[in-house]
């Protein structure tokens, strides 16, 4: 199973970075999105895949009878998903404003700090 | 010792405030700190003289074996007295020199901080501590040389001095680390008792060379001598203090200190004597053709430092006695002459050239009197202390005729410089355009005290020799010896040579105008000197940096990503190859059809996202990838993740769809070749990351942290959902950080939306 996921992660990284190397601002954001999916899945897979059920105690139980899925990568990814949303949203607004101010959405032209 | 040292450091920190509160008495107030040190040191003379060093030690960083250890023996005492004694006079002198200067407080701060650092160098017993203080002196020297930061020359000279001495400092650091390793201790006082171990050690030669480079750069030995004359850009009090009587002697001190440990080998004698003699002669000869007061003195300082290294290199107990005596004599006459030179320049409105000065004797009688004393001492005329030193020196070199020859040449140059600085400005007719008056009271202390010492020491040779020179020489040789200095040792060979030297010197002085003219014609040679080599190297480094920045920092995002990504691929790839293979394929979850289907869907969606020419299709395909992620999360026991992923992905897609029509359609196609390169790079990342994931599978920590969370989440946090408990309880602070990031992003986005840049009115 891990092998399959590893291949998927590879594709997400490759696709994400390829899009980030294009010249459009929108493609840059989409690439960033793919890259964060890849990173999340990387943490998830590397943390070990267990089909033991969610790490949630049933009512009345005090200890886990069977070993559940690892809660730690989940906590990390949960944070990561939220943060990447914040980054995407901020980047989107930033790029929109940049486009309106500078008048281009060509990343290659955004290399000077001075506007006209 | 630590207390007094701290007091001086604190005085340095307070200097600007003291200056602001009572600008007229800054020097008088601040001088109390070094004077306290002088008094304490004087009180310790009898104890140290009897061979009982004063030691102090405080634990600093235990794990690094680092202690604030101090050790006061004869050698440290001699240097510490010179540093704090001359330092006190310099502080007073500064008061007058910078009278009314708005930056006087800053200068005081630097110079007192330097004093404390320099005292640290000579008092510290722990090698690392010595090194820390050593670097501090380089740093304060940089600040002092560059004090007139509006002048580009001063800035360049400061940078040069800093680069040369700090580069040497790096060599020294390597040297002392190896030295401590070889001697198996960081304590200097212990290292110098292990001379035989060190001499036989396989690293002896590297240690010696590294330490020598450190010492030679600091003490301006050939071929690193060039920074010292350039450092004359510093205000005169700093030149007099750092670049003649104290800092530049740090290298001499260090080598003298290590003499019992590293000396008494052929390599030692060869390196030190050769370099010392070359520097001694080079400095003396280059001094002959100088016109500027301070440069005359600077080149003879280079020369004197060379002489000290030379005497140390020969390493007999006679030459070491001579060296200790010469250090004392040199510090006094050189500091006095510098202070007088500074006074002349100060009171004549900035005149620095010897040949434009003359007839100042009426205007500046006190300076003139001091100048005579110091100038004659420098020339080595009887009955001045410089004469005593030179006699001891010539006597010690009895069996080294070549070095005696060098001494005659060097000594003659000193006579010339002593005359040129001590007499020339005061005698003859005063040029009409020159206006001068006597230096103010605070500036008189230094020249008077130092000048009188040049003479007075000669009449107390017995007690000076016994109390200062003998303990110092004993510490350098590390065995008992007696020092008897004599003003008049009889009409012997040394005296005859001395007389010859004086005669040649006077002859040289008379033909000075010819020498200066010759030097002017030989000026072309400077193009091939070490100073030029330094400039060449420095420009090379700057050019390399410029090229490097141009290539790597293009300002184009693609280039940054390429560099980062390829570096990652190379490093991770190398690590993977070194780790070797993927041995453990067991424990893998079985491949199920539904997951395989999801995976295929994800890969196709990724392709669609990348490939699509339509913005909407691209965004939606990315959404598909996100939703597939949510499905995967549900498969592997992560319902919370699945829910969050669903919500967030939906939001992202909505956001992008709302925003994208504000942008123009995709229209900036890259060239085919660029695209091909990018595909290769992207593919290489993909493959590396896939392999990394597979490799990561057999990294298993012995006790995963997760077990702790699984066990304690209900018991201690009373929560059934472990993931939630981690987020809001165990790692609550991290979550707070996350919320902060979200808030800042939201605020930033809001600000970007609302605050429109003001349209420039009118236009150009």
Question: Does the pLDDT value for residue B589 go beyond 60?
Answer: yes
Residue B209 host element (H or E): helix B204-218
pLDDT tens-digit map of B147-158? 988 888 899 899
Rounded Cα distance between B337 and B375, Å, is: 7
Concatenated DSSP letters of chain A: -HHHHHHHHHHHHHHHHHHHTSSBHHHHHHHHHHHHHHHHHHHHHHT----S--SBPPTT-SS-SS----HHHHHHHHHHHHHHHHHHHHHHHHHHHHHHHHS--BGGG---S---
Question: Does the pLDDT value for residue B309 go beyond 90?
Answer: yes
| Chain B CB within 8 Å of residue A27 CB | yes
Q: How far is Cα of residue B744 from the mean position of the Cα atoms in its chain?
A: 41
Q: What is the Cα gyration radius of chain B?
A: 36
Mean pLDDT taken over chain B = 87
- Per-residue burial over B176-189, b if 16 or more Cβ lie within 10 Å, else e, is bbbbbebbebbbbe
| Chain B CB within 8 Å of residue A39 CB | no
Rounded Cα distance between B303 and B283, Å, is: 4
**Confidence grade of residue B635 (pLDDT, cut at 50, 70, 90):** confident
| Chain B CB within 8 Å of residue A64 CB | yes
Rounded average pLDDT over B487-496: 79
Rounded Cα distance between B90 and B144, Å, is: 13
Q: Which of B10, B11, B13, B4 is nearest to B37 (CA)?
A: B4
**Confidence grade of residue B581 (pLDDT, cut at 50, 70, 90):** low
**Confidence grade of residue B345 (pLDDT, cut at 50, 70, 90):** confident
Tally of CB atoms within 10 A around B674: 14
| Chain A CB within 8 Å of residue B714 CB | yes
Nearest to A74 among B590, B640, B753 (CB): B640
Q: DSSP label at B126? A: B
pLDDT tens-digit map of B511-541? 888 888 888 787 777 777 788 888 899 999 9
Yes or no, beta carbons of B742 and A82 under 8 Å apart: yes
Rounded Cα distance between B598 and B497, Å, is: 100
With tokens 């060190």, the residue in question is B198
**Confidence grade of residue B760 (pLDDT, cut at 50, 70, 90):** very low
Per-residue pLDDT at B307? 92
In chain B, which residues have their Cβ closer than 8 Å to the Cβ of A58? Answer: 720
Three-state SS string across B597-635, please? HHHHHHHHHHHHHHHCCCHHHHHHHHHHHHHHHHHHHHH
**Confidence grade of residue B700 (pLDDT, cut at 50, 70, 90):** low
β partners of residue B57: B69
pLDDT tens-digit map of B186-224? 898 888 888 888 888 898 999 999 999 999 999 989 888
Per-residue pLDDT at B275? 93
| Chain B CB within 8 Å of residue A83 CB | yes
Residue ranges of E strands in B528-670: none
Rounded Cα distance between A83 and B99, Å, is: 60
Nearest to B591 among A1, A14, A89 (CB): A1
Per-residue pLDDT at B757? 59
Rounded Cα distance between B192 and B207, Å, is: 14
State yes or no: cis peptide before B223, omega within 30 of 0: yes
CA angle B20–B236–B143, rounded 5-degree value: 65
Q: Which of residues 543-602 of B touch A (CB under 8 A)?
A: 554-558, 561-562, 565, 588-592, 595-596, 599, 602
Question: Does the pLDDT value for residue B763 go beyond 50?
Answer: no
Q: Kindly state the tokens that stand for B263.
A: 């000396």
pLDDT tens-digit map of B716-730? 888 888 888 988 988
Yes or no, beta carbons of A2 and B726 under 8 Å apart: no
Rounded Cα distance between B133 and B368, Å, is: 37
Q: Which residues contact B319 (CB under 8 A, 6 or more apart)?
A: B311, B312, B393, B396, B397
pLDDT tens-digit map of A54-106? 888 888 777 787 778 888 889 999 999 999 999 999 999 988 888 888 888 88
Per-residue pLDDT at B758? 57
**Confidence grade of residue B350 (pLDDT, cut at 50, 70, 90):** confident
Concatenated DSSP letters of B388-404: HHHHHHHHHTTT-HHHH
| Chain A CB within 8 Å of residue B614 CB | no
β partners of residue B124: B70
Rounded average pLDDT over B622-651: 92
- Per-residue burial over B594-605, b if 16 or more Cβ lie within 10 Å, else e, is ebeebbebbbeb
Question: Does the pLDDT value for residue B557 go beyond 50?
Answer: yes
Shortest CA gap A75–chain B (Å): 5
Shortest CA gap A63–chain B (Å): 7
Rounded average pLDDT over B443-472: 87
Per-residue pLDDT at B132? 93
Rounded average pLDDT over B334-355: 86
**ipTM surpassing 0.90, yes or no?**
yes
Are the C-beta atoms of B324 and B307 separated by less than 8 Å? no
Please report, for chain B, the start and end positions of each structural domain, with discontinuous segments joined by +. Answer: 556-583+673-700, 588-660, 701-749
State yes or no: cis peptide before B565, omega within 30 of 0: no
Per-residue pLDDT at B764? 33
In chain A, which residues have their Cβ closer than 8 Å to the Cβ of B591? Answer: 1, 3-4
Q: Kindly state the tokens that stand for B49.
A: 């003289």
Per-residue pLDDT at B133? 94
Question: Does the pLDDT value for residue B115 go beyond 90?
Answer: yes
Question: Does the pLDDT value for residue B666 go beyond 80?
Answer: no
Question: Does the pLDDT value for residue B639 go beyond 80?
Answer: yes
Domains of chain A: 2-50+70-109 (1.10.287.3510)
Yes or no, beta carbons of A54 and B610 under 8 Å apart: no
Q: Quick one: what percent of chain A has pLDDT higher than 90? A: 40
Rounded average pLDDT over B407-436: 85
Question: Does the pLDDT value for residue A116 go beyond 60?
Answer: no
């Amino acid at each position: 199973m891990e092998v399959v996921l590893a291949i998927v992660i590879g594709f997400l990284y490759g696709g994400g970075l390829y899009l980030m190397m294009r010249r459009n601002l929108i493609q840059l954001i989409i690439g960033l999105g793919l890259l964060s999916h890849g990173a999340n899945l990387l943490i998830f897979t590397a943390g070990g895949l267990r089909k033991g059920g969610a790490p949630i105690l049933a009512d009345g139980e005090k200890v886990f009878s069977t070993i559940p899925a690892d809660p730690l990568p989940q906590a990390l990814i949960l944070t990561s998903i939220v943060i990447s949303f914040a980054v995407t949203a901020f980047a989107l607004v930033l790029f929109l404003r940049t486009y309106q101010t500078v008048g281009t959405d060509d990343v290659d032209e955004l290399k000077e700090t001075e506007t006209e | 010792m630590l207390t007094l040292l701290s007091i001086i450091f604190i005085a340095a920190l307070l200097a600007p405030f003291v200056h602001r509160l009572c600008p007229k008495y800054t020097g008088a107030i601040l001088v109390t700190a070094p004077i306290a040190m002088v008094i304490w040191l004087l009180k310790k003379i009898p104890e140290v003289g009897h061979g009982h060093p004063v030691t102090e030690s405080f634990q600093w960083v235990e794990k690094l074996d680092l202690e604030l250890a101090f050790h006061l023996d004869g050698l440290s005492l001699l240097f510490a007295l010179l540093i704090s004694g001359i330092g006190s006079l310099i502080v007073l002198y500064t008061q007058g020199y910078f009278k009314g200067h708005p930056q006087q407080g800053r200068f005081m701060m630097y110079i007192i901080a330097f004093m404390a650092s320099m005292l640290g160098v000579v008092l510290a017993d722990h090698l690392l501590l010595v090194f820390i203080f050593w670097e501090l002196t380089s740093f304060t020297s940089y600040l002092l040389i560059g004090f007139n930061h509006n002048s580009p020359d001063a800035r360049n000279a400061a940078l040069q001095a800093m680069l040369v001495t700090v580069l040497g400092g790096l060599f020294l650091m390597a040297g002392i680390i190896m030295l401590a390793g070889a001697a198996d201790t960081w304590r200097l006082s212990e290292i110098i008792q292990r001379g035989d171990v060190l001499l036989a050690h396989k690293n002896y030669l590297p240690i010696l060379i590294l330490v020598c480079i450190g010492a030679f750069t600091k003490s301006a030995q050939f071929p690193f001598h060039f920074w010292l004359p350039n450092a004359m850009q510093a205000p005169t009090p700093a030149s007099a203090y750092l670049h003649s009587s104290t800092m530049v002697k740090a290298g001499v001190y260090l080598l003298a200190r290590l003499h019992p440990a590293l000396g008494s080998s052929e390599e030692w004698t060869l390196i030190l004597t050769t370099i010392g003699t070359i520097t001694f002669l080079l400095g003396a000869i280059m001094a002959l053709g100088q016109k500027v007061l301070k440069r005359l003195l600077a080149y003879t300082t280079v020369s004197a430092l060379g002489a000290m290294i030379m005497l140390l290199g020969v390493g007999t107990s006679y030459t070491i006695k001579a060296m200790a005596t010469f250090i004392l004599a040199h510090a006094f006459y050189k500091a006095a002459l510098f202070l007088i030179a500074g006074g002349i320049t100060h009171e004549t409105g900035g005149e620095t050239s010897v040949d434009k000065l003359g007839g100042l004797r009426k205007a500046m009688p006190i300076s003139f009197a001091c100048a005579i004393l110091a100038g004659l001492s420098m020339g080595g005329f009887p009955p001045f202390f410089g004469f005593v030193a030179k006699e001891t020196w010539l006597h010690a070199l009895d069996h080294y005729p070549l070095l005696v020859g060098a001494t005659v040449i060097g000594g003659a140059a000193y006579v010339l410089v002593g005359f040129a600085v001590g007499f020339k400005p005061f005698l003859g007719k005063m040029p009409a355009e020159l206006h001068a008056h006597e230096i103010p009271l605070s500036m008189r202390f230094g020249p008077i005290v130092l000048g009188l010492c040049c003479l007075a020491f000669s009449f107390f040779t017995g007690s000076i020799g016994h109390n200062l020179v003998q303990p110092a020489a004993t510490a350098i040789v590390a065995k008992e010896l007696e020092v008897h200095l004599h003003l008049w040792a009889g009409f012997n060979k040394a005296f005859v040579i001395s007389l010859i030297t004086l005669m040649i010197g006077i002859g040289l002085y008379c033909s000075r105008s010819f020498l200066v003219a010759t030097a002017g014609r030989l000026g072309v040679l400077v193009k091939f000197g070490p100073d030029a080599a330094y400039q060449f190297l420095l420009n090379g480094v700057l050019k390399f940096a410029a090229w490097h920045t141009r290539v790597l920092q293009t300002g184009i995002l693609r280039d940054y990503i390429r560099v980062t990504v390829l570096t990652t691929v190379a490093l991770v790839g190398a690590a993977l190859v070194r780790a070797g293979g993927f041995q453990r394929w067991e424990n893998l979850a079985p491949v199920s059809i539904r997951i395989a289907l999801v995976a295929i869907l994800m890969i196709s969606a990724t392709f669609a996202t990348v490939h699509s020419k339509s913005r909407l299709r691209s965004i939606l395909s990315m959404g598909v990838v996100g939703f597939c992620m949510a499905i995967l999360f549900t498969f592997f026991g992560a319902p919370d993740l699945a829910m969050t992923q669903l919500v967030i992905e939906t939001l992202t897609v909505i956001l992008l769809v709302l925003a994208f029509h504000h942008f123009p359609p995709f229209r900036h196609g890259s060239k085919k070749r660029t695209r091909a390169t990018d595909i290769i790079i992207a593919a290489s990342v993909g493959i590396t990351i896939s392999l990394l994931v597979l490799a990561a599978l057999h990294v298993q920590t012995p006790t995963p942290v997760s077990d702790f969370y699984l066990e304690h989440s209900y018991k201690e946090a009373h929560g059934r959902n472990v993931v939630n408990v981690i987020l809001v309880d165990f790692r609550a602070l991290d979550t707070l950080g996350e919320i902060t990031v979200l808030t800042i992003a939201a605020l930033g986005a809001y600000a970007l939306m609302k605050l429109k840049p003001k349209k420039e009115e009118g236009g150009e």
